[in-house]
């Protein structure tokens, strides 16, 4: 399986994040991608290629130009306001506050375009997030060219980013942009299977009213885990998209055996839907040693995950999302890819 990777993604290198009431060392860091790349090379999973530089058009199919422009011009605005370090939002237009005003101040705009205070924005964030999108789109294009699978080594991740907001370490919704790109290039039905430990709220919301992009997600129960406000079992789509979203929230402490029934159900939905292609939002944070997560996958379980997904028999883009146990991240990720190729 070919891997797509861009060094430019490493330019987003946050130092701190706001978490548990403290400024802590950031966990969504460049070494995550570096160790996966190193393991891909060591275990010879296939050729590694740099992404093509895509224009803004495929991004604008998913995110509005105002939001994209905000991220693009952010650093200039931030430094013009006299700030120099990483940025965090701290005020949001929630219930009873206005959404529709034209705001000048950078702090107001930060809140307008974000969902949380845990996602640092820096000087090179936009450039790295664009490279992450390019990585996802290049992998999708490999599928269109006839590859049976491809691995997009994306960073920063994407599945929490919504139509016009960043959050959960995500800026552009890589999986959503890739899915829409596949639709725009001749595929009729695309499935997204999100196996990150956290619910992919951004991806779900993008396609909630659409039957042409199926969204399936298995994750920690949001009543006990981030992102808290989406990802419950009763969210199944709306309007024309009714029945084309499915969620399997699972309790903290879930191990592979407890996870399998949900995975089997998700695979059954995939067989019924018969997608022309599948995008796997591949978070590796169900791992037992993950520093911010509460599931109990072992490294071997990621081999099993890959083997099971191969049986679905659909052209597949694996697209990296979360996973923060850096030492094991390469092994866990490549286990999925090898499991898939061998299964
Ligand atoms: C991004 B992805 C822990 C705070 C965690 C955000 C988690 C974002 C996960 N105390 N905050 O889905 O892996
Ligand atoms: Zn996650």
**3-state SS string for 161-186:** CECCEEECCECCCHHHHHHHHHHHCC
The pLDDT score that the predictor gives to residue 331 is 99
Residue range 2-55+129-342 forms a domain whose CATH class is alpha beta
63 among known catalytic residues: no
Burial (0-12, 13-18, 19+ Cβ within 10 Å), 145: exposed
Walk along the chain (343 residues) in steps of 10 and give the mean pLDDT of each run.
Answer: 98 96 97 99 98 99 98 98 97 97 98 98 98 99 98 99 98 99 99 99 99 99 98 99 99 99 99 99 99 98 98 98 98 98 91
* List 12, 63, 159, 160, catalytic entry: 160
**How much distance in Å is there from the Cα of 221 to the middle of ligand 1?**
14
CB 283: neighbour CB atoms within 10 A? Answer: 25
**Beta pairing, strands 16-19 & 22-25:** antiparallel
- CA 168 to ligand 1 centroid distance, Å: 5
Give 291 Cα–ligand 2 centroid separation in angstroms.
11
Please give the Cα distance from 80 to 257 (Å, whole number). 53
Are the C-beta atoms of residues 323 and 333 closer than 8 Å to each other? yes
Contact between residue 191 and residue 273 where contact means Cβ atoms under 8 Å apart = yes
pLDDT attached to residue 111? 98
- From the CA of 160, the nearest ligand is 1
- Which ligand is in closest contact with the Cα of 157? 1
Write down the number of H helices and E strands in the chain: 10, 10
Sequence-distant (≥ 6) Cβ neighbours of residue 41 within 8 angstroms: 48
Q: Which atom of ligand 1 is nearest to the CA of 157?
A: 2
- Please give the structure tokens belonging to residue 197: 């430990």
The whole-number pLDDT of residue 343 equals 79
Nearest to 305 by CA among 272, 333, 278, 275: 333
Q: CA-to-CA distance for 44 and 111, rounded, in angstroms?
A: 44
pLDDT of residue 12: 98
Q: Please, which residues have CB within 8 angstroms of residue 174's CB and are 6 or more apart in sequence? A: 132, 133, 135, 136, 152, 154, 157, 158, 159, 319
* Ligand 1 first shell, C-beta below 6 A: 19-20, 118, 157, 160, 168-169, 196, 198, 226, 283, 285, 292, 321-322
> According to the model, what pLDDT value does residue 56 have?
99
Report ipTM (2 d.p.): 0.97
How many angstroms separate the alpha carbon of residue 86 from the centre of ligand 1? Answer: 18
């Amino acid at each position: 399986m070919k891997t797509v990777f861009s060094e430019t993604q490493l330019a987003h290198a946050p130092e701190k994040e706001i978490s548990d009431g403290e400024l802590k060392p950031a966990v969504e860091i460049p070494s995550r991608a570096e160790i996966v790349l190193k393991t891909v090379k060591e275990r010879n999973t296939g050729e590694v290629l740099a992404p093509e530089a895509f224009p803004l058009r495929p991004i604008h199919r998913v995110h509005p130009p105002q939001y994209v422009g905000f991220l693009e011009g952010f650093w200039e605005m931030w430094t013009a306001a006299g700030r120099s370090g990483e940025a965090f939002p701290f005020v949001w237009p929630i219930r009873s506050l206005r959404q529709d005003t034209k705001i000048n101040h950078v702090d107001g705009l930060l809140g307008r375009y974000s969902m949380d205070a845990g996602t640092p924005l820096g000087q090179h964030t936009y450039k790295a997030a664009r490279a992450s999108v390019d990585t996802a789109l290049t992998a999708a294009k490999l599928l269109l060219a006839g590859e049976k699978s491809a691995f997009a080594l994306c960073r920063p991740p994407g599945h929490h980013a919504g139509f016009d907001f960043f959050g959960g370490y995500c800026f552009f919704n890589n999986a959503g942009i890739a899915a829409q790109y596949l639709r725009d290039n001749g595929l009729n039905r695309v499935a997204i299977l999100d196996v990150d430990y956290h619910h992919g709220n951004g991806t779900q919301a993008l396609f909630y009213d659409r039957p042409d992009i199926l969204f399936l997600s298995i994750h920690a129960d949001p009543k006990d885990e981030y992102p808290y406000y989406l990802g419950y079992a009763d969210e199944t789509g709306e309007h024309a998209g009714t029945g084309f979203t499915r969620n399997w929230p699972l309790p903290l402490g879930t191990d592979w055996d407890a996870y399998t029934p949900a995975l089997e159900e998700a695979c059954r939905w995939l067989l019924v839907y018969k997608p022309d292609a599948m995008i796997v939002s591949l978070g590796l944070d169900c791992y037992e040693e993950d520093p911010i997560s509460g599931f109990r996958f072992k490294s071997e379980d990621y081999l099993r995950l890959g083997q099971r997904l191969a049986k679905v028999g659909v052209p597949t883009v694996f697209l990296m999302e979360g996973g923060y146990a850096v030492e094991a991240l390469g092994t866990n990720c490549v286990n999925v890819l090898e499991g898939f190729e061998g299964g």
